Every structure is written in structure tokens, then in C-alpha cells.
Amino acid sequence: MKQITVIGVGYVGLVTAACFSDLGNEVVALDINKERIAGLKRGEMPIYEPGLEELVQRNIKAGRISFTTSYKDALKSAEFVFICVATPSGVDGEADLKHVAAASRDIAKNMSAPLIVINKSTVPVGTGDWVADIIKQHQPKPIDFSVVSCPEFLREGSAIADFMNPYRTVLGSLDEEAADMVAQLHLPLRAPIVITDLRTAEMIKYASNAFLSTKISFINEIANICESLGADVKEVAAGMGFDERIGPDMLNAGIGYGGSCFPKDIKALAFMAEEMSIEPRILKAVMETNAERRERIINRLIEVIGDLKGLNIGLLGLAFKPNTDDMREAPSIEIAQKLIAQGARVKAYDPVALEVARPLLPKVEMVDNAYKLAEGCDAIVINTEWNEFIQLDLEEIKSKMKQPVIIDGRNIYDPEKMKALGFIYRGVGRGYNNDRDLIKKEIIQDHVS
């Protein structure tokens, strides 16, 4: 059993703490937010993540996890300290490292024995060296420590499964012995372990997220072409995905990526490139393509029903993805704001994100189920692909709507079935509502002329 301290009880920190405790370690989770820690001591979760509440409560009962706001208490027996604090985007897209700096200073001031400090937050290349300098500068007396980079690759909504069954564990350090000790900590996960230097490990995280963001923007650009030519992007993606060099993951066309990772990480990587006088052309194109997705949904809605002023528009889903209540960079926020700017009255439903969304969207009426959302709607826009939405009684939804218009930003429904039910349905990259005879004629005429 190892003594582990985790700093930060957000999406990454709390999952990290809970999972390491479930592996049999003694874990202290620390956060300077007193309300969060008080709630956790009562068994209340500050975030929604499937299975997390049960995992935390089980390990509280077993005495393997505890919570504190005191660095002194958290570090007194620690062998490993994970920094899992937020690194939001700064004014120019750079990563804001104020929380990392604060954690590093407090570690330095309160450590009483040798430590291995592990950066799990997503941080710019070179941060590991910077953290080491901060700790050295703020130690009251010299105590040995090492810094290891161990970037997280957790997906919200499946974070526990991702932690327990990772594709790989990436470790970077200038201290081979420290890297080996952190590797031993991860051995129970039975995943490949990549050991490299600090800066390379930090870059692996940014490069991974940038590549996944690129796949999303690429398939969205293909979707635009499919819409014009009458092809179905879902079938195109499926056909592409069978090629092992491409793979099926991250090829779901829609309204673009959001959340706490992809938007800020690709901005930060582009910022780092420009700081080194390198033009990040692909990264900029990825961001531009993603930003365009929200406007495209509004334009599609206007194409179908015209002027939006005074119309009732329902938003089905608010969180940036299913199985989370995270509203950070959620496409629904911009879509709602654009609809309100067009004069529409907007209401919304999400299975878990309503309370988080309320202060972010004060002009949006929040309702507690999808059928109430449908009442009197001139159109519904689907923002999040919750399983609950796939199972809706669509005939009942249609009966409650003023106009049976659905703009499906996540392609959760089949266009032919929706047409048969009497909906005016528009997906993403699904041709002209599957009117392929019209498309064929246009294409043939273009080539003949």
C-alpha cells in the first residue's frame, strides 16, 4: 500500500484519488475549496461522473480515502503527490498555470520528507522543469524530491473505465528511479508504460488531443461536402473506420468538440508553436472548422423555418457530451446565445446538466423532461447524444410540437424514419434530407454543362 496525495478534486483529481484508493492505496485528496471538501466528507459529489459516487463512498467506508483542505495534513505521510488542478486558457490561448504554481509553492512549504511530485494536469512543454524550480525556491530547507509528468487521458463520462483500463501510461522524468517508482504504482492497471523525458511526455498529451480534435474537424468538413453532394457522412465514416490506419473513433460528424480539454489544449499548442515562430496551420484550420459548426446549425434552422424572431426553439441536451454535467465550452451555450440574438424564445432540457447550465444561460427556460420541452416548439435542436433521447417516443414529441422540425446536431436519428413519422428533419452531413434523386440531377447537370 502506497501513501498518495492528490491535489485538486475536479474531474481528473477526484477520479484519480478514487481509483488509486480502490487499487488498495491510502489516498488523501486535497482541495482549497472548503465547500467541496465538506461535501465530499458527507459523501456528496461535486461533479457528475457515472460510478464515481459509489466508488468514493466504498473507499471512504474502507478507510482508504480521506479529504482535507490542509497541505500540512495531506503531505505528512505522502510518498507520491499528484497535481491535478485546472489549467484554463489565458487571454491569448496560453495555458494559465496559476493553480499549478500555487500547488507547487504549497508543496514546497509543507513537505517534510522526500517526495515524488507528479504533474497530471495538462501543462505546456517545460512546465515540469518550472515546477521543480518553484519547489526548490520555496522550500524552507532542502528536501529531496523528483518531478514526473504523467498526463491524464480520461474521457468524461467514462473516466473510471479509462483510468482502470488505459490504452497506455505515459511517464516523463529526468530521474529514472522516480519514473520507475511511478511505473510500479501503475503496474496493477496492466497497460503499456511509456517512459521518456519530461518535455516529451508533456508533448505527448498535447499532440494526442490535437490529433483527436483534427479527426473531429476533418469529418465535419467531410460532412459539409456530403450535404452538398447527397452522400451520408455516417456511412462514409463507417466505411473509413474499417481501415485500421484510420479507425472508427472520433469520426462522428456533428456540432463540434467542446469540454475542458480539446478547446484549451489545441489553443495552448498553437500558442506554443507561435512562440517558437512556427505557424500552426493545421491547428488553426481545426479550430476554425470547429467554430463554424455552431453557426451552421443556426443557418440550417433558418433554411427550414425562416425568420426565428418570436419562435419557440427547444434545445435537447446542454452538456458538451453525454454522461457528464460539464458545460465548459459546450456548443449548446453558443447555439442558445445565437438563437436568442435572432429573437427566438429558447428552452432546454438535459438529464444532468440543468443546474450547472442555469447560471450560464439565464435567458433560457430550463424544463425537467423532453416531452415538456417539445410543448409548443417550432423546432428542436439536438446538442447532446444522450441515450435517453434515442429512446424517446417521437410520435408523442411530434404531437406536442407546433411545427415538427428537428435539427439533429448529433445524427442520433435515421432520416428515413424521421421522414416517415412526418418530421422535417435535418441531420449533419446527410445530404438534402436524403433527397438523392434531386442531388443526382444537379450533379449530372453540372458535369454535362
| CB neighbours of residue 279 within 10 Å | 10
114/181 Cα distance (integer angstroms)? 13
252 phi-psi bin (left φ>0, alpha ψ -120 to 50, beta other): beta
51 phi-psi bin (left φ>0, alpha ψ -120 to 50, beta other): left
Report, in angstroms and rounded to the nearest whole number, the Rg of the chain calculated over CA atoms: 24
Q: Hey, what's the cell of 128?
A: 515540469
Instruction: Look at residue 145 and give its three-state secondary structure.
Output: strand
DSSP secondary structure string for all residues of 214-233 = HHHHHHHHHHHHHHHHT--H
Residue 137's Cβ-count burial label (10 Å; 0-12, 13-18, 19+) is exposed
251/264 Cα distance (integer angstroms)? 20
93 phi-psi bin (left φ>0, alpha ψ -120 to 50, beta other): left
Residue type at 1?
M
- With contact defined as beta carbons under 8 Å apart, do 82 and 6 qualify? yes
Catalytic residue status for 84: no
| Integer angstrom CA distances of residue 184 from 2, 60, 145, 187, 359 | 10, 24, 17, 5, 44
The residue count of the chain comes to 449
Instruction: Look at residue 428 and give its three-state secondary structure.
Output: coil
30/112 Cα distance (integer angstroms)? 17
DSSP secondary structure string for all residues of 27-85 = EEEE-S-HHHHHHHHTT--SS--TTHHHHHHHHHHTT-EEEES-HHHHHTT-SEEEE--
**Nearest Cα to 298, choosing from 290, 286, 289, 306?**
306
| CB neighbours of residue 224 within 10 Å | 17
Instruction: Look at residue 366 and give its three-state secondary structure.
Output: strand
137/131 Cα distance (integer angstroms)? 10
- Active-site residue, from 84, 226, 261, 377: 261
Active site amino acids:
261
